[in-house]
């Protein structure tokens, strides 16, 4: 984790803790002595791919840096029911204050990593890679995209700032593909950080227009059937990086990969996954 990423995580944790704790965890304050010491285990309750361990540790340490934590599983590990990911010992108030945020992060990230791993496994043996999208939870994109990578996927652009993706609305507002590409290239000439241009197309005719216009690095083939996608890939013939999107699921993704496309983007990796079930349980001695 870079210094910038660490600072982003710390800011996120601080805001999330403020949202959750407010002016105090009154349940713990009223029922448990302030200096009580205890131990808890983070236990997996369904099979999946683990993600978010680093972030969970950061939560515990930001809440109470005296907590002692032992980890037994790492990001990317396959986990099963009953597996213990970590044990945390120390002040009970600190453990309970960190519990929900640590679990929320790990459940969400592990759910994404698990879904991604299943999708990636479905096209094993092909050259196609699985991409995420910008269909992420606001302010959680950095965690959700990390989870995609842990699951074996590849990050697409992080935002509107690191790639120009000319989509159908841009094309329509600009007055056509050629106008949009021409303007994007004029804009790019004057940028301090030149970035790639990708264009979304809806049919074979639009592909031909993109190829005739030139000036882009990637083409997104949106809502093509596997059969038409195969024609599209042959037409492009390696001149541009190809990406398929729209209506692609675990049940049909192999048909799309077989068409020879470089990437397949799936918004469902981040916008509609189920969190992996896990819990933090007090370990009572004696």
Digit-coded pLDDT (tens) for 253-279:
999 999 999 999 999 999 999 999 999
**Phi and psi for 243 in degrees, rounded to 5?**
-135, 130
Reported pTM: 0.95
Active site positions, annotated: 100, 135, 167, 200, 222
Output the six-digit token pair for 175. 């007055």
Are 58 and 98 in contact by the 8 Å Cβ rule? The answer is no
Residue 194: per-residue pLDDT: 86
Residue 195 to residue 191: CA distance in whole angstroms = 8
Residue 265: per-residue pLDDT: 97
**pLDDT, average across residues 27-44:** 96
Digit-coded pLDDT (tens) for 127-144:
999 999 999 999 999 999
Distance between first and last Cα of the chain: 40
Q: Where are the domains of the chain?
A: 3-119+274-282, 123-271
- Report the topology of domain 3-119+274-282: Aldehyde Oxidoreductase; domain 3 (3.90.1170)
Residue 130 to residue 124: CA distance in whole angstroms = 11
Distances 219 to 68, 75, 125, 147, 235 between C-alpha atoms, Å: 50, 32, 23, 25, 12
Element (H, E) at 185: helix 177-189
Residue 286: per-residue pLDDT: 45
- Report the topology of domain 123-271: TIM Barrel (3.20.20)
Digit-coded pLDDT (tens) for 146-176:
999 999 999 999 999 999 999 999 999 999 9
């Amino acid at each position: 984790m870079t210094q910038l990423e660490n600072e982003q995580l710390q800011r996120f944790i601080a805001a999330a803790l403020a949202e959750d704790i407010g002016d105090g965890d009154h349940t713990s304050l009223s029922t448990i002595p302030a200096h009580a010491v205890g131990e808890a285990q983070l236990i997996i309750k369904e099979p999946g791919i683990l993600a978010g361990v680093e972030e969970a540790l950061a939560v515990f340490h930001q809440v109470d840096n005296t907590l002692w934590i032992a980890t037994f599983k790492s990001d990317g590990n396959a986990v099963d029911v009953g597996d213990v990911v970590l044990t945390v010992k120390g002040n009970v108030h600190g453990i309970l204050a960190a519990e929900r945020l640590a679990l929320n992060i790990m459940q969400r990230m592990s759910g994404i990593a698990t879904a991604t791993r299943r999708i990636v496994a479905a096209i094993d043996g092909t050259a196609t890679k699985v991409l995420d999208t910008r269909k992420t939870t606001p302010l959680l994109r950095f965690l959700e995209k990390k989870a995609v990578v842990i699951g074996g996927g590849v990050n697409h652009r992080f935002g509107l700032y690191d790639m120009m993706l000319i989509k159908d609305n841009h094309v329509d507002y600009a007055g056509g593909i050629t106008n949009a590409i021409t303007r994007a290239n004029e804009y790019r000439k004057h940028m301090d950080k030149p970035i790639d241009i990708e264009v979304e197309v809806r049919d074979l005719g639009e592909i031909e227009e993109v190829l005739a216009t030139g000036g882009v690095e990637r083409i997104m083939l949106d809502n093509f059937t596997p059969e038409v996608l195969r024609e599209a890939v042959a037409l492009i013939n390696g001149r541009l990086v190809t990406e398929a999107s729209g209506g692609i699921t675990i049940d049909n993704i192999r048909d799309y990969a077989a068409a020879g496309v470089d990437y397949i983007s799936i918004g469902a990796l981040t916008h509609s996954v189920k969190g992996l079930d896990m819990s933090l349980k007090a370990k009572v001695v004696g």
